[in-house]
Amino acid sequence: MIILGVDPGTLITGYGVIEEKNGRFKVLDYDVVQNRSDHTMPARLKAIYVTLCKVIDRFHPDEFAIETAFYGKNAQSAMKLGHARGVSILAAVNHEIPTAEYSPREVKRAVVGTGAASKDQVSYMVQSLLNLKSPPKFYDATDALAVALCHFHRSVKARGAGRTSGKQKQPIRSWKSYVQAHPEKLVRPR
């Protein structure tokens, strides 16, 4: 299972790609898309989109996870963050990758054990859990790896917990595939 995690931002978007096999994690890649503040918003968004598409084409992730917007910022910041989230999600959706979203508190709780963890605590735990020799240069890359770990623990692992066979479940991508996978949930007219 390969998971691409993203920590969105218009100036710095972090991404991290991890692979899970038999409960062990391997870091395939992590970095940031660093935009200049003097670039226009459309140019920044294009850089984020193009870079994430290249990462997706290189690693073919099975799942995509992104951090939700932090609502404590002002409206202008929230709108800009929404743009970065939008193009990031679009890159995944255009590649038909199932997507999931997690709040910053949920990511911290999944990785550190508390939703009030500091950036340093998240960085330390990501470095420890993924056996990195040194922490990533940017917290944004660390946060993206944390989002990928959170997704594994919250979603992928949870889906596997209910399995009785070793067969891999396919992600539900449409109502039609959901109905085909769960005919017992249909209510038929009498």
Q: Which pLDDT tens digit goes with each residue over 112-138?
A: 988 889 999 999 999 999 999 988 999
Q: Which of 120, 140, 143, 184 is catalytic?
A: 140
Q: How many CB atoms lie within 10 A of CB 12?
A: 17
Q: For tokens 């940017």, what's the residue? A: 138
Q: Which of 20, 31, 67, 143 is catalytic?
A: 67
Tell me what pLDDT residue 10 has. 94
Phi then psi for residue 131, to 5 deg, are 55, 45
pLDDT confidence of 180, banded at 50, 70, 90? low
**Burial state string for 95-119 with b = 16 or more CB within 10 A and e = fewer than 16:** eebbbbebebebbbbbbbeeeebee
For the question of residue 7 being annotated catalytic, the response is: yes
- The superfamily (CATH) of domain 2-185 is Ribonuclease H-like superfamily/Ribonuclease H (3.30.420.10)
Tell me what pLDDT residue 165 has. 41
Q: Does pLDDT of 46 surpass 50?
A: yes
Mean pLDDT, the chain, integer: 86
Helices (H), 69-168: 75-94, 104-111, 119-129, 139-151, 157-161
| Of 111, 99, 66, 105, the residue nearest 85 (C-alpha) | 66
Hey, where are the domains in the chain? 2-185
For the question of residue 29 being annotated catalytic, the response is: no
Whether the predicted model's global pTM rises above the 0.85 cut: no
For the question of residue 20 being annotated catalytic, the response is: no
> Do 56 and 97 meet the contact criterion of CB atoms below 8 Å apart?
yes
Q: Which of 7, 20, 31, 143 is catalytic?
A: 7
Q: Indicate the burial class of 86 (C-beta count within 10 angstroms; 0-12, 13-18, 19 or more).
A: middle
Tell me what pLDDT residue 155 has. 81
Beta strand 2-7 with 12-21: parallel, antiparallel or unpaired?
Answer: antiparallel
For 64-107, how does the pLDDT look when each residue is reduced to its tens digit (9 = 90+)? 999 997 666 678 888 888 999 999 999 999 999 999 999 999 99
For 9-21, how does the pLDDT look when each residue is reduced to its tens digit (9 = 90+)? 999 999 999 999 9
